[in-house]
Amino acid sequence: MKEITSWKEDYQKFESLNCEVIAISVDHIYAHNVFAASLGTLPYPLCSDWHKNTCQSYGVFDEKNLVAKRSVFIIDMNGIIRYKNEDFDANDKNHYDLVFSELRKLN
C-alpha cells in the first residue's frame, strides 16, 4: 500500500518525465474499487490481474502464496522493458530514487 500512496504523491514527477504509472494487483476489481476509494482519487489506473496472466508473463508471480511480488517495471514507448526491480521495497527510499533515475535516462 505504501508504494501506491508514494506514487500518488510523486505523480507530478512522473508527468514531468513524460511517463505513465499503471498499478497492477492480483486482487479482484471490487477490492480495488474499495481500496482506491479509501485513498481518494488515484491519478493513475489501478488494474486487476485477477487471472494472474500479467504477473506470470512478467515472472513475478509467487506460486506459493498466490500473489504478485512487489515489482516495478519501466517499459519504453516501444514496449521494451528498460528497467525492472522484482523485489521492490516500499520502505527503501533508494528503490524510489532509482526508478526516477532510470526514467530520466529515457528522456
H helix intervals, the chain = 2-9, 11-16, 29-39, 53-57, 93-106
Q: Place domain 2-106 in its CATH homologous superfamily.
A: Glutaredoxin (3.40.30.10)
Reply yes or no on whether the pLDDT at 2 is more than 70.
no
Q: What is the pTM of this model?
A: 0.86
Reduced to 3 states (helix: H, G, I; strand: E, B; else coil), residue 67 is: strand
| Closest of 23, 84, 15 to residue 49, by C-alpha | 23
pLDDT in tens, 33-89: 787 778 787 888 888 999 999 999 999 999 999 999 999 999 999 999 999 999 999
Maximum C-alpha span of the chain: 39
Long-range CB contact pairs, 7-10, < 8 A, 24+? 7/44, 8/39, 8/42, 8/43, 8/44, 10/96, 10/100
